[in-house]
Structure 1
Amino acid sequence: MALNIKAWIISLRLRTLPLALSTVFMGSILAAGAGCFEWGVLIWASLTTLFLQILSNLANDYGDALSGADNEERQGPRRMIQSGVITLKQMKKAVIITATLALISGIVLILVSLKGRQLAAFAFFVMGLFAIAAAIRYTVGRNPYGYRGFGDFYVFLFFGLMGVGGTFFLHAGTWEWPVLLPASAVGLFSAGVLNLNNIRDIESDKKSGKKTLPVMMGRKPAAFYHLALLVMGWGAFLLWLIIFQDDNVGAWLSLIVLPVFVLNAISVFRFRAPLSELDSQLRNLSLGTLFLVILYVTGSLFVVC
């Protein structure tokens, strides 16, 4: 494929990668808190997650270009296929290569973390295949789920429950139900990022037949839905702190990032502002989620030390 470094970097959507890493970092610090941490798991889980996120980004460009969802009325950054810089054939090759890298990295992760545990290894291998398929099927195929309003559910599942919970299990080799609280928080914030993206693109998605939740419910209800995602996310995280981290005072350091989420929620209710202004809020919410995790990690380690 012809090499245009700038175009491919844009297509990778690097600003989405911090959100992907949030899941692995959260699952890893939870495992460390339970006395179970493996550097090999952290490294390979991070690589696998990054490949899956990049795969989703590239497949999204490919699928939206095929369907016509990426058009001149779209409010976000201009896509490279849409601009004619990258061809559909080149993007399809990139999707195949990235899917292969994600598969290889995932297999190594399983071998590193689940030695001798055949049943668990098989289960994670199947989940890995499911994750690769889901990353592609969001906008690609005869009936992509992203065009039927199911994107938020899959983001919550993969960035929250499976991403955080799965990482915890790979470290610890066991399961603890309270992990669902911080996992749900990260998943809900991740769904919020997708919702912002869909609110921004609501007009172009309507005309292309892409039925996201904002298209189906309307802009104002979508703003209240966004507020609900953030409130529920913080509710789950605060429950985790209050009930299960009462002796971990440093974990409360993560509350420093709360104003970022408050401003993010307020921005969605500015209905007269151009939808393109929501683009910066995508970055803010993605980085805000990562900083929440980093502050939680930092505070927890400070107390331990």
Structure 2
Amino acid sequence: MGTAVTHAVVDAHHHVWDLAVRDQDWITGPALAPIRRTFTVDDLAPHAHAAGVVATVLVQTVTVAEETPEFLALAAECDLIAGVVGWTDLTRPDVADTLAALAELPGGAHLVGIRHQVQSDPDPQWLLRADVRRGLAALADAGLVHDLVVRPDQLPMCAEAAARMPHVTFVLDHLGKPPIASGALEPWTASLRAFASLPNTVAKLSGLVTEADWESWTVAALRPYADTALEAFGPTRLMFGSDWPVSDLAATYGEVIDAARSLTAELSAAERAEVFAGTARRVYGLPEAAAGSSCPAGPS
């Protein structure tokens, strides 16, 4: 049985992909075999609705330019998807024109941010490069945010980038992937606090179950990391995300949201409303309209 729904929820981080449209070359090896199949919004919708989710943010999976227009078109046809965090090459001199062109596409109004796979980029200082900073400035000028998917050792670079570019909003996915499985807190805690000390930073309470032991994770194991994030960012700069379907490796959709509710149970009702909806709506500029039921599978 799931936790009773007490407020409308925005799932600020999930994915879809269709292996018939495009390979997901990161899904390799036996451990990831359970998610090496197609996942559509139609697969997500019943789980989301059962959990009280009224809107979602669909996040890029691969560094392929064609994916973002596909996601925007899907958002245009699906009431559940309120925002899209896509990908485009931020190092291109004409990135401002590219962002403007994306905004003019079907569903272009749903573009809320851009993400790059910093965690696997071969340049260890990617965020601090002059061409990237130019692209990030163009992103901010377009009213978009930058999602960060990084490893814990990259958090100091993220803090330096945020300090250099106070006009850019940086959204940290999955709390920077803390080492939950090992139980270690440092240096992740210090690095997260340094990043959170900057006012233009936000974080997602997402992806924690897959950073823990997939077979034996507990809410108690997640709690020190969630508590650190709540103390560092506060409820108005923290947002819930499921990370579905990657989360399926360790938990059901219902178990992920139940864990997040347990981790935030000590907050006031108003603070929980921020984590589960308010922060995402404000940071991503999402509309207040409730979700409908029409969600074509579409390409991913």
> Could you state the TM-score of these two structures normalised by the residue count of structure 2?
0.29
Larger helix proportion of the pair:
1
Q: Whose radius of gyration is greater, 1 or 2?
A: 1
> Could you state the TM-score of these two structures normalised by the residue count of structure 1?
0.29
